Amino acid sequence: MPTMLGQNQYGKAETRVVRITRDGRTHHIKDLNVSVALQGDMADVHYSGSNAHVLPTDTTKNTVYAFAKEHGIESAEQFGMRLARHFVTSQEPIHQARIRIEEYAWDRIAAVDGPSHEADRPSREAASGASAHSFVRTGQETRVTQITFDGETWEVMSGLKDLTVMNSTDSEFWGFVKDKYTTLREAYDRILATEVSARWRYHWSGDDEPMPDWDDSYDRTKRHILRAFAETYSLSLQQTLYQMGSRVIENRGEIDEIRFSLPNKHHFLVDLAPFGLKNDNEVYFAADRPYGLIEATVLRDGAEPRIPLDLTRL
Amino acid sequence: MPTMLGQNQYGKAETRVVRITRDGRTHHIKDLNVSVALQGDMADVHYSGSNAHVLPTDTTKNTVYAFAKEHGIESAEQFGMRLARHFVTSQEPIHQARIRIEEYAWDRIAAVDGPSHEADRPSREAASGASAHSFVRTGQETRVTQITFDGETWEVMSGLKDLTVMNSTDSEFWGFVKDKYTTLREAYDRILATEVSARWRYHWSGDDEPMPDWDDSYDRTKRHILRAFAETYSLSLQQTLYQMGSRVIENRGEIDEIRFSLPNKHHFLVDLAPFGLKNDNEVYFAADRPYGLIEATVLRDGAEPRIPLDLTRL
Amino acid sequence: MPTMLGQNQYGKAETRVVRITRDGRTHHIKDLNVSVALQGDMADVHYSGSNAHVLPTDTTKNTVYAFAKEHGIESAEQFGMRLARHFVTSQEPIHQARIRIEEYAWDRIAAVDGPSHEADRPSREAASGASAHSFVRTGQETRVTQITFDGETWEVMSGLKDLTVMNSTDSEFWGFVKDKYTTLREAYDRILATEVSARWRYHWSGDDEPMPDWDDSYDRTKRHILRAFAETYSLSLQQTLYQMGSRVIENRGEIDEIRFSLPNKHHFLVDLAPFGLKNDNEVYFAADRPYGLIEATVLRDGAEPRIPLDLTRL
Amino acid sequence: MPTMLGQNQYGKAETRVVRITRDGRTHHIKDLNVSVALQGDMADVHYSGSNAHVLPTDTTKNTVYAFAKEHGIESAEQFGMRLARHFVTSQEPIHQARIRIEEYAWDRIAAVDGPSHEADRPSREAASGASAHSFVRTGQETRVTQITFDGETWEVMSGLKDLTVMNSTDSEFWGFVKDKYTTLREAYDRILATEVSARWRYHWSGDDEPMPDWDDSYDRTKRHILRAFAETYSLSLQQTLYQMGSRVIENRGEIDEIRFSLPNKHHFLVDLAPFGLKNDNEVYFAADRPYGLIEATVLRDGAEPRIPLDLTRL
């Protein structure tokens, strides 16, 4: 046979699971989108269609729901680890499992407004603070994680996407290469805006190290990214990216590597001169396409780079 | 000629304008998506292609940018009114202008975290509170408005979309009609979730009445919607809708009419019995399609209904 | 009570049904997205939450599937009529039903290539023509229809969306109004491109008239729209729109009214002068936003306009 | 410094270029979306913000437009190669260029209908065949390519996405593993539908080999994929995938490796028993999420696998 099977994987993608936990009248919510990808001894199903080694993708979906009940969802990372371990250890032909999870955040409804002091309608519930079982989706970034387990070693890559940020000043861009196709003018005060996609890889690989506190690590890493973006006087988006990455590596010992994909969401100063108006960095056109796309990894010195070149959508 | 021209309009849709206002080192941002639609004496351009009455859509785009500079953007409503008045009063053939605006909200970056007490990296900027010119898009609902002006009367319809809310209990659905195609079982404790689209029409029409405070009205109306959703013990999504609407009409004297389009974002209880597990309202499948769609208008007694049956995307 | 209920409707949106009909080894496919909206005596469910008049949206979904089996799907229009009649005549509280349907078209796989003359691999199936039960989605426009029935009168509005067309010449735009915000230059040879959304209303209302052949009418109407677009030397997109509409009204006696929503998909000539190059209508930037938006109705003389101002997404 | 820069790249993404070529009154169109990613000696811009090695992304956009004029667009592959060579050879600090291109296909308008024999309106243009400069977007699959050049070696990976196909019979799924979470029933006649994403890597790497005919290779490869899908009696989607891949490898000597990402677009047989109806493979629910996701590479024996695990969106 002149052809052969290469790298392959299969599983159920985008199983949407919502888990409610009740603490008396106070409920807690976890809202996940779980994608399972399994690798192993799968030549036969490709060559002959024999499913003797194939756990159906429908079963991997069922397992997500059953585990949400049996074990709860402490964090996306721990839930993913539980699933990965299950598939690899319970199915002989499965040698590796990769679990990808998106998590959507919800606020309690009254927490949106804080305590109510408005005159027009006092509300008992608002007076007592946040609602016990009413939620509004925050809608800001989406938290993501990817757990890979081969039966021995763990790899945890977490991150976020769709976090849109803007500095309305403290950004310049000049001193760049000019060739015969260059028309861009140098800028000494521009808007810098991007939609942050980031993935960071944890040092932890399941040996005797203690496991990080995944939720706390996520919150603090996001905060470092936001602050580094805000506090960097930027000469290029690459420089800002590096500041964001190195701030994380320097402050979060549990993270060895972080990669960003940063579209430069161009805000072009509108030329108002034809109308006799001066545009002193006040009115911008927010463009859709094309956009600059800046991508880089920042590593702890000596760490091995393992996050792939292209960050995936899921 | 056996055919004739009917209702028509034209203009530039989705002009993205970002307006920065500088108050010393502190910046303020308005981020809008503006769509202009003009009506008037436009038979010729349809019949013969004569553009003698046609102000180019490119010009309506330019006007958005020029007005953002000349007049600033106090609120989406006032900006839209300024544009509508301009087109109708400056162009003889234009008899009516309709301006639709989407507004995207931004928070100051440090405001995301509140004051920082974390140990791992003190930050001067966090200590002093919110960043002066660094922003993160809130990503929650999108605020919308539609201004219509015919040279004499104003109609202001504002609203919001993409506001996703959930009650994890206090929702029932039973006592419904059963016909030969009915298989749904009655529910005495279910999740109720929806993505709120709302449009409300202001009483104000430009006569001698004082103009509402548009931003304050928006904030309070959104809060009433959220609280009515949270506080209603629901026997049907229709009932919840009516509570949301009547709460707004009763509390906001400036609003005469409000319409909602509420997709019932079904969360189906997963059947875990095959795995020997009991699902006591803990594990749900969040479905995409199909979805119930509940739409209704709530009016102040005696008010004329004017919001159309279908809420538009833009 | 100072508030009251206005116009309302409810039902299941976006029920995805695929119906296979087997003619021996040859299969036929109908692929629809069906949305049901019911109106009637629905005050109680809004005021008190009583569902005594509410046929569940889940039941309307079931009815779609059951009818697909019991009656088949001859055309989207006839399937919608069957559903609308059922809801209005079988449920006392329901006074009006509106069924919206999207239809996705599929080609037989071998039909994609036509008969195969290629040398590299003769195929028995290709030799015998189109595959009997293998399909590829055409992916061009989406066909839509909306059926409204109030127990006596029928209204059928059909149409299409997402049909993207381009003329690479034979389009001009000049002689327009210039005001102080006008910078656009006159164009004597430009690209004209748009993504056609059209809705047409049939004269047929269920009285003693014979029913149109819906599929044939759709095919011919689409062809008239395409040809009118191709054959019109355009001085404005409005003129092209009117030609498209009047061509339909003049040739299709069964149609009384047609409305178009035509985004002007701008293709801007790129300024290559800085690189010492002349751009003789050869290289264009295809812009996303903003875009001109041209909307108008064309009517048979004497027909009553009934298609709403805004074409809906579904 | 405890942190260091890892793998990085930058460039302008999604430059939309439309190129018209005029052959008398007959026009030809190429409609591309071009993304440039450059790698090289870029440490400084990340560490210090010095742009001395940075050719602006705006310049890479300009280059796309200028090259479309200067050299035309023979095929996506050749256009990408021209761009890649330019960036690597003209800029000392740039060591590698990767060009990704999406291509959208257009048909001539009259070609949609074929010659017109309809009675209701003879048309001169239709009689003479396809329109010379009027086009309709086919809307089926999107063609993609990725060119990588490091100054010495070329890698060409082409492919397609969004090609939706369905077999309404000749698909089974049984004999799979059952564990305690398995509830799926075996299927002996099911619908098999997927949205094909494929990337294939050409053997050609720029040495003395003759270059493939890219357009012809694309057309024939697509045809093989479609036919293999149609002609395979399927026992699993993995088997169908392997048939599609091996058919390409066996028939197209210029291709060494092909990878597919195939979402299993589930069509679930609707249970009509509660309505007293038998569903004999006639009525299906087309589900959105979750979906099985089957991914694999098929290689020419001895070829080195180089297509990455995750196919990218762009």
- Minimal-distance CA residue of chain C relative to A287: C289
Cβ-nearest to D277 among C16, C69, C164: C69
Least confident of A185-189, B132-136, C310-314, D201-205: C310-314
Q: How many residues does chain A have?
A: 314
Question: Given pLDDT bands bounded at 50, 70 and 90, which one contains residue A92?
Answer: very high
Take residue A164 and report the two structure tokens written for it.
């849109």
Residues B27, B28, B53, B57: which is the catalytic one? B57
Q: Does the pLDDT value for residue A121 go beyond 60? A: no
- What is the mean pLDDT of the segment spanning B125-147? 85
- pLDDT per residue over C200-250, tens digit each? 999 999 978 899 999 999 999 999 999 999 999 999 999 999 999 999 999
Determine the pLDDT at residue C63.
Answer: 98
Q: Measured between alpha carbons, how far is C162 from C102 in angstroms, rounded to an integer?
A: 12
Q: Does the pLDDT value for residue C117 go beyond 60? A: no
- Minimal-distance CA residue of chain C relative to D170: C133
Determine the pLDDT at residue A1.
Answer: 53
Q: Does the pLDDT value for residue B153 go beyond 90? A: yes
Q: Is B311 on the interface with C (CB under 8 A)?
A: no
Least confident of A10-14, B118-122, D92-96: B118-122
* Of D101 and C120, more confident: D101
Question: Given pLDDT bands bounded at 50, 70 and 90, which one contains residue D302?
Answer: very high
Determine the pLDDT at residue D199.
Answer: 98
- By CB neighbour count within 10 A (0-12 exposed, 13-18 middle, 19+ buried), where does B9 fall? buried
Determine the pLDDT at residue C313.
Answer: 73
Touching D: B residues 176-215, CB under 8 Å? 180-181, 183
Q: Tell me phi and psi for residue C131, to 5 degrees.
A: -65, 150
Determine the pLDDT at residue C1.
Answer: 53
Q: Does the pLDDT value for residue D262 go beyond 60? A: yes
* Cross-chain Cβ contact A69/B167 below 8 Å: no
Determine the pLDDT at residue D111.
Answer: 46
* Cross-chain Cβ contact C272/D69 below 8 Å: yes
- What is the mean pLDDT of the segment spanning B90-104? 98
Catalytic residues of D: 12, 57, 266
What's the mean pLDDT when you consider all of chain C?
94
* Of D111 and D87, more confident: D87
User: Contact, D109 vs D136, CB < 8 A?
Assistant: yes
Contacts of B280 (CB under 8 A, 6+ apart): none
Distances A114 to A108, A125, A128, A131 between C-alpha atoms, Å: 10, 12, 10, 11
Touching D: A residues 23-82, CB under 8 Å? 35, 37, 42, 45-59, 61-63, 66
Q: pLDDT over 90 for what percent of chain D?
A: 90
- pLDDT per residue over A33-55, tens digit each? 999 999 999 999 999 999 999 99
Q: Does the pLDDT value for residue A119 go beyond 50? A: no
Contacts of D24 (CB under 8 A, 6+ apart): none
Query: Which of C179, C265, C271, C275 to mutate against chain A (most A CBs within 10 Å)?
Result: C275
- pLDDT per residue over A122-151, tens digit each? 444 444 567 899 999 999 999 999 999 999
Query: Which of C12, C19, C20 to mutate against chain D (most D CBs within 10 Å)?
Result: C20
Taking the CA of residue C210 and the nearest CA in chain B, the distance in Å comes to 23
User: Three-class SS string for chain D?
Assistant: CCEEEEEEEEEEECEEEEEEEEECCEEEEEEEEEEEEEEECCHHHHHCCCCCCCCCHHHHHHHHHHHHHHHCCCCHHHHHHHHHHHHHHHCCCEEEEEEEEEECCEEEHHHHHCCCCCCCCCCHHHHCCCCCCEEEECCCCEEEEEEEECCCCEEEEEEEEEEEEEECCCECECCCCCCCCCCCCCECCCCEEEEEEEEEEECCCCCCCCCCCHHHHHHHHHHHHHHHHHHCCECCHHHHHHHHHHHHHHHCCCEEEEEEEEEECCEEECCCHHHCCCCCCCEEEECCCCEEEEEEEEEECCCCCCCCCCCCCC
Q: Measured between alpha carbons, how far is A48 from D239 in angstroms, rounded to an integer?
A: 6
* Of A153 and B314, more confident: A153
Q: Is B275 on the interface with D (CB under 8 A)?
A: yes
Query: Which of D182, D289, D291 to mutate against chain B (most B CBs within 10 Å)?
Result: D289
Helices A237-251, A214-231: crossing angle, 10 deg rounding: 140
- Minimal-distance CA residue of chain A relative to B251: A120
Distances D184 to A58, C198, C233, D187, D234 between C-alpha atoms, Å: 7, 43, 59, 9, 18
* Cross-chain Cβ contact C169/D133 below 8 Å: yes
User: Contact, C184 vs B56, CB < 8 A?
Assistant: yes
Q: pLDDT over 90 for what percent of chain C?
A: 90
Take residue A44 and report the two structure tokens written for it.
């036969």
- Minimal-distance CA residue of chain C relative to D230: C134
User: Contact, C92 vs C54, CB < 8 A?
Assistant: no
Q: Measured between alpha carbons, how far is A95 from A10 in angstroms, rounded to an integer?
A: 12
Determine the pLDDT at residue C208.
Answer: 83
Distances B232 to B197, B227, C69, D248 between C-alpha atoms, Å: 18, 8, 40, 60
Take residue D139 and report the two structure tokens written for it.
């809307």
- What is the mean pLDDT of the segment spanning C151-166? 98
Taking the CA of residue B2 and the nearest CA in chain A, the distance in Å comes to 43
Q: How far, rounded to the nearest angstrom, does the alpha carbon of residue C237 sit from its chain's CA centroid?
A: 19
- What is the mean pLDDT of the segment spanning C31-51? 98
Contacts of A293 (CB under 8 A, 6+ apart): A261, A262, A263, A264, D10, D11, D12, D13, D35, D37, D57
Determine the pLDDT at residue A207.
Answer: 74
Determine the pLDDT at residue B120.
Answer: 44
* Cross-chain Cβ contact B66/C234 below 8 Å: no
- What is the mean pLDDT of the segment spanning C293-306? 97
Touching C: B residues 276-295, CB under 8 Å? 289-295
Q: What does the DSSP 8-state code read for residue B275?
A: G
Which residues make beta-bridge pairs with C3? Answer: B300
Question: Given pLDDT bands bounded at 50, 70 and 90, which one contains residue B222?
Answer: very high
ipTM over 0.90: yes
- Minimal-distance CA residue of chain B relative to D272: B181
Take residue A132 and report the two structure tokens written for it.
């016990």
Take residue A190 and report the two structure tokens written for it.
């521009």
Determine the pLDDT at residue C156.
Answer: 98
| Helix, strand or coil, per DSSP, at residue C151 | coil
Question: Given pLDDT bands bounded at 50, 70 and 90, which one contains residue D163?
Answer: very high
